Amino acid sequence: MRVRELAEWLGATYEGDGEKEIAGVASIEQAGADELTFAAGRRADRQVEQSAAGCLLVAPDFPNPGGRTAIRVADPRAAFARAIRRLRPETPPPPGIHPSSVVAPDSTIGEDVSIGPRCVVGRGVSIGAGSRLHANVTIYDDVDVGERCVLHAGCVLGADGFGFSMVEGRWEKFPQIGRVSIGNDVEIGANSCVDRATLGVTWIGEGSKLDNMVHIAHNCRIGRHVAIAAQTGFAGGCVVEDYAVIGGQVGVGDKVRIESRAVLGSGAGVLTSKIVRAGQVMWGTPARPLKEYLEQLANLARLPELRKQVADIKKRLDKLEG
């Protein structure tokens, strides 16, 4: 594909050699003379100077890349993702059920659904059109999966929530009789688990993306277009509103509410029943506003020097008293 053709397809402008052929894509460090890459972030200027890429996707205000061929776009990373799909289109799996998989006869499987090897689909399950199950996915009974969903290898939907009551010195299981409902265009990473509700529904909204090894406990409600990074766990009854972003290795206690467009930084810990307000950026354990967290980190860094100063003052006082 020529540079000018790609720019036109992206709805963007280009500068440099519009007839240059682009054969592939690569990172800015590895791209060659016939490959496309993108430049964004604080180190972009230096990376562009050192890159051998044939064409660069850059922001409208990016400095002129020294006669290099470039396409100017509002969001270089997003445009690069689109270009990858055009230049390196994914081969969709053939629709159908792999012979090694087990699908309950009363499940409803939509058109063009692909179910990979060794999957198990339980009774009363509904899988929407165009969805894809990779190998070893397990869907328990009474789970609804929307259209165009992607379930990666080993993920489990509809396992029992962690509900027990202490009765006469022994844990007694509280029956988990609810459901799981997954909206359209949801992607769930490898070895992630979404537990069924104790009563009612555990719900994941349209367009949300879960990374690998994410745990969603019983009766959680995850809104639309929420992004959750790897190794994050939600305890029961949490609510995450639309467009929230949750970093990796975040721990969220029971009945927490995370409002729309809030951000939880990696490794944060949110205490039970906490409310994270809309648009807040929180970090640390317990989670607190980012500015406060950074101030506390700075103070911690000063502690060794402060200890040294206190020890020096003590020595002087001891001499005076002596």
Q: Which fold has domain 3-87?
A: 3.40.1390
pTM (two decimals):
0.85
Count of CB atoms within 10 A of residue 151's CB?
A: 29
pLDDT digits (tens, 9 = 90+) for 159-174: 999 999 999 999 999 9
From residue 159, alpha-carbon distances to 68, 119, 175, 197, 243 in Å are 54, 15, 12, 9, 26
The pLDDT confidence band at residue 297, using thresholds 50, 70 and 90, is confident
Domain ranges of the chain: 3-87, 97-286
Residue type, 211: D
Q: What pLDDT is recorded for position 319? A: 85
Question: Which of 51-55, 136-140, 263-267 has the weakest average pLDDT?
Answer: 51-55
322 band by pLDDT with thresholds 50, 70 and 90: confident
Q: Helix-strand-coil percent breakdown of the chain, rounded to 5?
A: 20, 30, 55
Q: What is the pLDDT of residue 244?
A: 98
| Catalytic residue of the set 152, 215, 218, 225 | 218
**Cis-peptide, bond into residue 286, ω within 30° of zero:** yes
Query: Which percentage of the chain shows pLDDT scores above 90?
Result: 80
Residue with tokens 């061929």: 69
Catalytic (active site) residue 152: no
Query: At residue 320, does pLDDT exceed 90?
Result: no
Does domain 97-286 bear CATH number 3.40.630.30? no
CB within 8 A of 199, min separation 6: which ones?
A: 177, 178, 219
What tens digit of pLDDT does each residue of 182-226 get? 999 999 999 999 999 999 999 999 999 999 999 999 999 999 999
